[in-house]
Amino acid sequence: MGVLAIVYRTLRAISVALLLCMAASGANAQDVFTVENVEVDATGATATEARDLALAQGQAEAFTTLIRRMVSGAEYEALPPASPDDINVMVTGYRIADEKIAATRYRARLTVTFNPDTVRQYMQGANVAYTEAAPRTPILVLPILIQNGRPALWEDPNPWRDAWNALGSGDRLVSVVLPLGDLEDIQGGDLQAVLAKDYEKLLPLRARYRTDDVLVAAATVTGRNPDGTVALDVSLDLLGKYENKRSHATYSLSLPESDMSSDPGIPPEIFTTTIQDVVRKLDQQWKNTTAVSAGAEESSLPVLVPVAGLEEWMDIRQKLTGAPQVKSVQVLAISAGQADIVLHYRGDLTAALDGLAHNGLSIQQENG
């Protein structure tokens, strides 16, 4: 979809243009207040008792997953414990799959949905910052292993790439996707373009994996230690439509030289801690960007939205309401070619606009 200009008017008549670029992925993000794939297994004196115990345990596990998803590690430690009754009040419902019932045992897989308002009340009562942002569009990871000055992305062996492929999905707001490494990838992901971090030339890969964000993760063999281990240096370049972030000399590992050989049995867990830390930091950055303080006040902003039709307006409205700091969108009037609205948001304007930018909205201020 083309670029659309949205101009909002402040009380001082300062105009700001918001350029909305609808992301190519177009995938519907998972609801942050829904926790899926909760495995439960409980026993009791009867099948009914076992089921009740399993559902209560499932709700508690889902609640823990939800809270860890919404707050940082430090904020999580500051939260007061929630009793089973507290959690039950916050649950609006659940779906059951793969149910197995025995005389004294109950097993199933649950999807638990929580009430956003009661969860917010719990967070605000504890005075912690939290995010309601939907999970970020997956980041495409391109793992490069550099030995003796020679970079390898698609070639074998590449234990660094194997380790990324072995990374579990986890329950994060940031997820990653690895290329298949087939002929289409090789043709669309030229090694020189990857090394140059040429975002535009990586369009074939971005289009294939339906994402705007690419992480070039390069592990370089920097030398060999006296004890026979190999020293590795990891650098990260996060490329995106709206931002580029670079991190160098972040990690240094030592591992047996034999693990860099062509032995097909190279254990990917050698790199597990490093990779998990990389993904954890990406997840934390997303939470920090989209977080709303518990005591944040609500403000409003008049906005004039040029639209070509109803379908376009619905797309724009979904982008606006999907931003974490935006509480609601009040429609004052809709006429041919434009919509006059008021944007209600929590926290300061800069944070709100930054949240919109991460939801596919690029902000550009105009004088006048």
Note the pTM of the prediction, 2 decimals: 0.64
Looking at residue 174, the DSSP 8-state letter turns out to be: S
338-348 pLDDT tens trace: 888 888 877 76
Give me the pLDDT at residue 229, please.
63
For the record, the structure tokens of 209 come out as 């994996």
Cβ atoms of 102 and 47 closer than 8 Å? yes
With contact defined as beta carbons under 8 Å apart, do 260 and 150 qualify?
Answer: no
Q: Where are the beta strands (DSSP E) in the chain?
A: 4-9, 15-20, 34-43, 91-101, 105-114, 130-131, 139-147, 150-152, 176-177, 214-224, 229-239, 244-256, 291-292, 298-306, 326-335, 338-346, 361-365
Q: Count of alpha carbons within 13 Å of 319, Cβ hemisphere only?
A: 24
In 148-243 the beta strands, taken as DSSP E runs, fall at 150-152, 176-177, 214-224, 229-239
Q: Are strands 176-177 and 139-147 parallel, antiparallel or unpaired?
A: parallel
Report, in angstroms and rounded to the nearest whole number, the Rg of the chain calculated over CA atoms: 24
Per-residue pLDDT for 354 more than 50?
Answer: yes
What tokens appear for 109 in the block? 């897989």
* Mean pLDDT lowest among 13-22, 215-224, 233-242, 290-299: 13-22
What is the predicted pLDDT for the residue at 144?
A: 94
